[in-house]
């Protein structure tokens, strides 16, 4: 096994380590490259924020990511590009992918404002963050330096400064995997028996061991053939090669519009106007209360004296297999079913081994939870639209997440958990917040949400309308700082290796 090198935070973009919570103002610029040479000059000088800890915390931050078409325009060869993962190369709207992601009906890419079928996909994503009142100044500073000569601004996706509560009114940004920056935890599946929120570095950053103890594919270059590749870090598993992926990540961006009025109107109707029932229904759909406290904890945080930190993330669904406390279909339970990699209780070594190799499973739900640690994502979204409810303006979430493997992480969560009408043994329902409500191919509905009751049949809400609509999206590569230098300096029009 090769030696694990210490992480060089100066080579990692800061967004991989920090959510920039204090930089409450942000905007995301979708750019088309206008002049490749000028764009390269601009990129080589761009003040990209790194993951180094700084004191005081800077008042601005900037990050850069590229689509596959952007990298080609900047001169990366087809051969290098083929080293990236297939979903990144073929894009979010590639054949069959839309169906798997639930991007059909009103979510179809043919209706998107950007990134869809009828609109050119962006080449570059520029993410700007700033402390209150500082964003305009930061944008002017960044956009100086021949910016307009280099790029056409396709869209400026603004956000509002509410970073804690999403538009439906629930606390957001709470549960995140804790990244194992120090690579302390074993990534060998045979040497770890317990579920942990600590996630292998290689699940988020390319070039490190992932939860399988392996390295995710990414472009590895021969520096004998490509002199510029010497700016890149060496590949950990093969130091002869230079690693274009190391310290980089894939960034998934989806503009998700939320029908806030429609959401609360429907819930009011379904609760016969009873505000307590309505609140309980909304909480059941999310799986947390508005204040962020999980339904799996008995007490809301809004009660004075309740320790907020305790239990905010330290819970699982072991004690609630049937979903009496938190419905199996609730958004947080679908998007991270938690629990262990192994069946609950003090299972023997043999039982664990059997479970590891897929034998001895008792139910579909155990099968589902067995794999949670391979499907974590690091969420970095921001919301847009007016903070107060207003039907005049569009509101929603610029959903952003980072992962080293788009297919196994984001796409799995979206497809196998969120959009799966049979998740955890359920029938005819998809994610109560995100579902597109399109019937399945066999005609079965997906517009239901069930809440099991202590006695009697489950309460089942039918005919739920669509509350969240996809308005745009793309897959990006967020390079490490040295990889960005390589991209900016690769001579345009040559094979690059």
Can you give the binding site for ligand HEM, defined by CB under 6 A?
A: 166, 168, 170-175, 256, 258, 286, 288, 331-332, 335-336, 377, 396-397, 399, 410, 413-414, 418, 433-434, 468
Least separation, in Å, of the C-beta of 112 and ligand HEM? 15
Minimum gap (Å) between residue 197 Cβ and ligand HEM: 9
- Closer residue to ligand HEM in complex, CB, 149/391: 391
Closest distance between ligand HEM and the C-beta of residue 314, in Å? Answer: 11
User: How far, in Å, CA of 181 to CA of 183, rounded?
Assistant: 5
Closer by beta carbon to ligand HEM, 7 or else 282: 282
Nearer to ligand HEM, 28 or 168 (CB): 168
Name which of 400 and 488 has its Cβ closer to ligand HEM.
400
- Nearest residue (CB) to ligand HEM, 179 versus 413: 413
Question: Whole-number minimum distance, CB 335 to ligand HEM, in Å?
Answer: 4
Nearest approach in angstroms of CB 103 to ligand HEM is: 11
- Cα 399 to Cα 126, 147, 170, 181, 384, distances in angstroms: 15, 26, 15, 24, 10
Q: Give the Cα separation of 270 and 464 in Å (integer).
A: 9
Q: Which is nearer to ligand HEM, 175 or 365 (CB)?
A: 175
Between 174 and 231, whose beta carbon lies closer to ligand HEM? Answer: 174
- Give the shortest CB-109-to-ligand HEM separation in angstroms: 16
CB of 9 to ligand HEM, least distance (A): 25
Least distance from ligand HEM to the Cβ atom of residue 30, Å: 19
Identify which of residues 213 and 344 has a Cβ nearer to ligand HEM in the complex: 344
Q: Look up residue 80 and give its two tokens.
A: 């290098």
């Amino acid at each position: 096994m090769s030696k694990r090198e210490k992480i060089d935070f100066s080579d990692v973009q800061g967004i991989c380590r920090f959510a920039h919570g204090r930089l409450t103002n942000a905007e995301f610029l979708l750019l088309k490259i206008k002049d490749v040479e000028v764009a390269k000059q601009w990129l080589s000088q761009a003040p990209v924020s790194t993951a180094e800890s700084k004191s005081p915390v800077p008042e601005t931050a900037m990050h850069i990511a590229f689509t596959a078409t952007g990298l080609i325009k900047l001169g990366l060869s087809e051969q290098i590009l083929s080293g990236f993962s297939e979903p990144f190369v073929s894009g979010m709207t590639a054949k069959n992918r839309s169906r798997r992601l639930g991007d059909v009906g009103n979510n179809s890419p043919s209706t998107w404002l950007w990134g869809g079928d009828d609109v050119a996909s962006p080449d570059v994503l520029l993410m700007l963050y700033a402390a209150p009142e500082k964003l305009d100044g930061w944008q002017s500073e960044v956009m100086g330096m021949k910016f307009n000569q280099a790029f056409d601004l396709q869209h400026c996706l603004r956000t509002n400064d509410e970073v804690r509560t999403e538009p439906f009114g629930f606390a957001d940004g709470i549960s995140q995997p804790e990244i194992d920056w120090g690579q302390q935890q074993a990534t060998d599946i045979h040497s770890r028996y317990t579920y942990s929120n600590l996630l292998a570095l290689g699940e988020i950053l390319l070039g490190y061991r992932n939860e399988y103890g392996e390295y995710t594919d990414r472009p590895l270059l021969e520096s004998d053939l490509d002199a510029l590749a010497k700016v890149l870090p060496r590949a950990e598993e093969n130091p002869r090669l230079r690693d274009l992926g190391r310290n980089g990540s894939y960034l998934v961006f989806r503009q998700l519009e939320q029908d806030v009025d429609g959401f609360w109107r429907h819930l009011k109707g379904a609760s016969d106007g009873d505000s307590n029932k309505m609140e309980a229904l909304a909480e059941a759909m999310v799986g947390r209360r508005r204040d962020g406290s999980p339904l799996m904890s008995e007490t809301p945080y809004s009660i004075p004296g309740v320790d907020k930190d305790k239990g905010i993330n330290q819970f699982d669904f072991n004690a609630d297999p049937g979903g009496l406390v938190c419905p199996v279909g609730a958004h947080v339970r679908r998007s991270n079913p938690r629990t262990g990699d192994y069946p609950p209780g003090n299972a023997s070594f043999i039982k664990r081994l059997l479970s590891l190799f897929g034998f001895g499973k008792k139910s579909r739900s155990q099968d589902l939870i067995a794999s949670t640690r391979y499907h974590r994502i690091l969420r970095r979204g921001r919301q847009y639209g007016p903070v107060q409810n207003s039907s005049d303006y569009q509101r929603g979430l610029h959903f952003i997440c980072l992962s080293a493997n788009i297919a196994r992480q984001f796409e799995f969560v979206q497809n196998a958990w969120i959009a799966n009408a049979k998740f955890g043994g359920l029938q005819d329902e998809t994610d109560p917040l995100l579902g597109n409500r399109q019937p399945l191919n066999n005609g079965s509905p997906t517009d239901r949400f069930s809440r099991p009751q202590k006695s009697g049949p489950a309460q089942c809400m039918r005919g739920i309308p669509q509350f969240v609509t996809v308005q745009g999206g793309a897959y990006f590569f967020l390079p490490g700082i040295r990889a960005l230098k390589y991209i900016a300096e690769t001579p345009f029009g040559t094979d690059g290796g």
